Chain A
Amino acid sequence: MKMNKLKESEIDLSVDIAGVKLANPLMTASGTCGYADEYADFVDLKTLGAFVTKSISVAPREGNEYPRIVETRAGMLNAIGLANVGLEVFLKEKVPQLESLGLPVFVNVAGTTTEDYLKVAEALEDVDIVKGCELNISCPNVKAGGIQFGVDPNAVENITAELRKVCRKNKLIVKLSPNVSDITATAAAAVNGGADALSLINTFTAMAIDIEKRAPILANATGGLSGPAIRPVAVYMVHRVYTQVARPNNIPIIGMGGIQYASDALEFLLAGATGLAIGTALFVNPQCIVEIRDDIADYLARHGHGSITEIIGTLKIG
Chain B
Amino acid sequence: MCSENKMSGRGVYMATVVVNEKICDEHFLLRLYLAEFPSAAAGQFVQLQCRPPVAQAGAAEVARSEAGLPEFSSPELTDKESLLRRPLSLAGRRVSGDGVELEIIYRVVGTGTGWLAGTRAGQAVSVLGPLGNALPIIPDKPQVALVAGGVGIPPMIYMANALHNAGKSVTAFNGVRSKSLLPLSPGSEPISPEGLPRLCCSQFQSSDASAVVASDDGTVGYHGLVTEPFDAWLDGEAKAAAGLVVYSCGPEPMMRAVGEICIRRGIECYLSLERHMACGMGTCQSCIVKIRDDSPQGWSYKLCCTHGPAFDARDIIW
Please list the residues of chain A having a beta carbon within 8 angstroms of any beta carbon in chain B.
31-34, 38-42, 44, 62-63, 65-71, 73-76, 78, 80, 83, 227-228, 260-266, 280, 282-288, 291-292, 294-299, 302
Starting from the known contacts A286-B12, A295-B56, 7 additional A-B residue pairs (CB-CB under 8 Å) come to A63-B288, A66-B275, A66-B288, A228-B83, A283-B279, A284-B83, A295-B58
Partner pick for B57 among A63, A67, A261, CB 8 A cutoff: A261
Nearest CB on B from A58, distance (A): 17
- Which of B9, B128, B283 has a CB less than 8 Å from the CB of A34? B283
Are B11's CB and A68's CB within 8 A? Answer: no
Query: How does the 8 Å CB contact mask read for B56-99 relative to A, with 1 for contact and 0 for none?
Result: 11110110000000000011100001111100000000000000
Judged by a CB distance under 8 angstroms, whether B286 is at the interface is yes
Q: Is the CB of A69 within 8 A of B278?
A: yes
Q: Report if A261-B6 is in contact (Cβ < 8 Å); known contacts: A34-B283, A71-B84, A284-B85.
A: no
Q: Once bound together, how far apart are the Cα atoms of A283 and B85, in whole Å? A: 8
Size category of the binding interface on chain B: 35 or more
Cβ-defined contact, A296 with B58, below 8 A: yes
Q: Is the Cβ of A292 less than 8 Å from the Cβ of B12?
A: no
Query: What's the A-B contact tally at a CB cutoff of 8 Å?
Result: 135
Given A32-B283, A71-B83, A282-B279, check contact A302 B300 (CB 8 Å): no
A227 to B279, CA, bound (A): 13
- Could you tell me if A38 and B57 are in contact, using CB atoms closer than 8 angstroms? no
Question: In the complex, are the beta carbons of A32 and B12 less than 8 A apart?
Answer: no
Q: How far is the CA of A200 from the CA of B83 in the complex (A)?
A: 22
Q: Can you offer 24 A-B residue contacts whose CB atoms are under 8 A? A: A31-B285, A32-B283, A33-B283, A38-B282, A38-B283, A41-B8, A42-B10, A66-B288, A67-B276, A67-B286, A71-B82, A76-B84, A76-B278, A78-B284, A83-B285, A261-B74, A261-B75, A263-B74, A283-B281, A284-B49, A285-B12, A286-B281, A296-B58, A298-B58
Q: What residues make up the interface of B, taking CB atoms closer than 8 Å to A?
A: 1, 3-4, 6-12, 49, 56-59, 61-62, 74-76, 81-85, 126, 128, 275-279, 281-286, 288-289, 300-301, 306
CB distance from A46 to the nearest CB of B (A): 12
Residue among B10, B11, B83 with the highest chain A CB neighbour number at 10 A? B83
Given the known interface contacts A68-B288, A298-B59, the answer about A83 and B83 at a Cβ–Cβ threshold of 8 Å is no
Which of B58, B128, B275 is A42 in contact with, Cβ under 8 Å? B128
Q: A38-B282, A66-B275 are in contact. Are A261 and B82 (CB under 8 A)?
A: no
Contacts of A44 in B (CB 8 A): 4
Residues of B within 8 A of A227 (CB): 83
Give bound CA distance, A227 to B57, whole Å: 18
Give every chain A residue within 8 A of B126 (Cβ-Cβ).
Answer: 285
CB contacts (< 8 Å) of A264 on chain B: these are: 58
Residues in B with CB closer than 8 Å to A297 are 59
Are A69 and B284 in contact, CB atoms less than 8 angstroms apart? yes
Which of B11, B58, B83, B277 meets A265, CB within 8 Å? B58
The answer, among A74, A80, A228, A294, for a CB contact under 8 Å with B286, is: A80
Q: List chain B residues, Cβ under 8 A from A32.
A: 283-284
Contacts of A261 in B (CB 8 A): 56-58, 74-75
Q: Which residues of B contact A282 (CB under 8 A)?
A: 279, 283
Residue of B nearest to A8 (CB): B59
Asked if B56 contacts A74 (CB within 8 A), the reply is: no
Complex Cα–Cα for A227 and B83 (A): 8
What is the chain B residue whose CB lies nearest that of A263? B58
Instruction: Specify the chain B residue showing the minimal Cβ separation from A73.
Output: B81
Expressed in whole angstroms, the Cα–Cα distance for A302 and B3 within the complex equals 28
Q: Tell me whether B57 and A263 are in contact (CB under 8 A).
A: yes
Contact yes or no, B6 A228, CB < 8 A: no
B288 to A262, Cβ gap below 8 A? no
- Contact at B82–A34, with CB atoms within 8 Å? no
By a CB distance below 8 angstroms, the chain B residues around A39 are: 281, 283
Closest to B81 in A: A73
